Amino acid sequence: MGELERLRKEIDEIDIEILRLLNKRAGTVINIAHIKRNEKAKFYSPEREREILERLTSLNKGHFPNDTLKVIYREILSASLSLEGPLKVAYFGPQATFTHLAALRHFGSSASFLPVESIKEVFDAVDSGKTDFGVVPVENSNEGVVSSTLDLFMDYDLKISAEVMLEISHNLLSKSGDKAKIRRIYSNPQATSQCRRWLESDLPGIPILESTSTAKAAEIASQDEEVAAIASEVAAKVYDLHFIEKDIGDSRYNFTRFLVISKEFPPKTGKDKTSIMFSIKDKPGALHDILSPFKRAKINLTKIESRPSKRKAWEYIFFVDMEGHIDDRKVRKAIDNIRDSCLYVKILGSYPHGGA
């Protein structure tokens, strides 16, 4: 037997052992499910999943890359959870949008996903109990905040239980992959604006038409050889499209932050972020008075965003992200210290920083 054949045989034996261990793990998961069912305990434990991922990546001293290890174990954890009872997750769809990718990144492909047509419908699905979680976009590094997501926190008593940071890569796709055949381009306005320079230099004069999402643009392109879509790599697979050009975005640093919403938020991990919203009384120096307790407590405020309350003229709602968990004494004390100066304060959630 040659050296190559010997090494391939060794890989086959390793794969068989991995398969045996995966099924052994699945059997243990099923036993845990029986115990949880008898004790009426929650099946999904995001803090336990995060603990597993962090432990494995810290123990990994070999050649296998940690980023790939996380992806594989996210799928193992997702498949294991489906043996207990699949999570139901609503997301701002349709399939193959970047929000769908963020949902897959966080929950794995074995979750039960429900695409809906608006961000409000995501909130409705979670609020009504139709799904356990929802995934919505909240901010892009180039385009700023998604105001409709922030506004909906005023109307729903839902919590932020996690965040997902997703690098956005825009691609030009079509049925043939032939740039010369393109007569129209479809995408949603945000994606189009992020690719403006490339479109003007490489396809000048080609009309750019609006679609409700990048995935809808891909669907349109799949039905007409003269149409190209600006969409994700996953959209190319789902709609059987070819690449005209990959990564046509104007900025090489393009990330979108997504929020995972639910009816509760997880316990502290030691690397957490807390989000709150508040409305202040209309008086000189009011905002300064609100921010002072956080400065005194040396709490880093990572974001401050204001939105009209839509309930009273010139009344504004402030959204603030800060480092730390609401169960941290200094965070809770600082928030308590601002209540008298606010018309109201709402804790939107405490959750692991940056997602898993």
72 has pLDDT over 90: yes
Segment 232-245 mean pLDDT: 94
pTM of the full structure: 0.82
Spatial contact of 103 and 113, defined as CB atoms under 8 Å apart: yes
User: For residue 313, what pLDDT is reported?
Assistant: 61
Total domain count for the chain? 4
Structure confidence at residue 13 as a pLDDT band (50, 70, 90): very high
Indicate if the pLDDT at residue 356 is higher than 50.
no
Q: Is 256 one of the catalytic residues?
A: yes
Per residue in 26-70, pLDDT tens? 999 889 888 888 887 777 878 888 889 999 999 999 999 999 999
Name the active-site residue from 256, 278, 294, 318.
256
Q: What is the pLDDT of residue 319?
A: 95
Asked, for residue 325, whether it belongs to a domain, the answer is: yes
Q: What is the pLDDT of residue 314?
A: 59
Determine if the peptide bond prior to 94 is cis (ω within 30°): yes
In a domain, 274, yes or no: yes
269 vs 134 pLDDT, higher one: 134
Q: Considering 258, 265, 294, 319, which one is annotated as catalytic?
A: 258
pLDDT above 90 for 165: yes
Closest CA to 280 of 291, 272, 265, 271: 291
Which tens digit of pLDDT belongs to each residue from 202-235? Answer: 999 999 999 988 999 999 999 999 999 999 998 9
Domain that holds residue 101: 88-168+255-260
Indicate whether 272 pLDDT > 80. Answer: yes
Q: With pLDDT > 70 as the criterion, what percentage of the chain qualifies?
A: 98
User: In terms of domains, do 274 and 342 share one?
Assistant: yes
Burial of 235 (0-12, 13-18, 19+ CB in 10 A): buried
Give yes or no: residues 79 and 22 share one domain.
yes
pLDDT value for 241: 97
State the CATH number of the domain containing residue 177: 3.40.190.10
Question: Is residue 345 located within the same domain as residue 295?
Answer: yes
Confidence of residue 196 (pLDDT cuts 50, 70, 90): very high
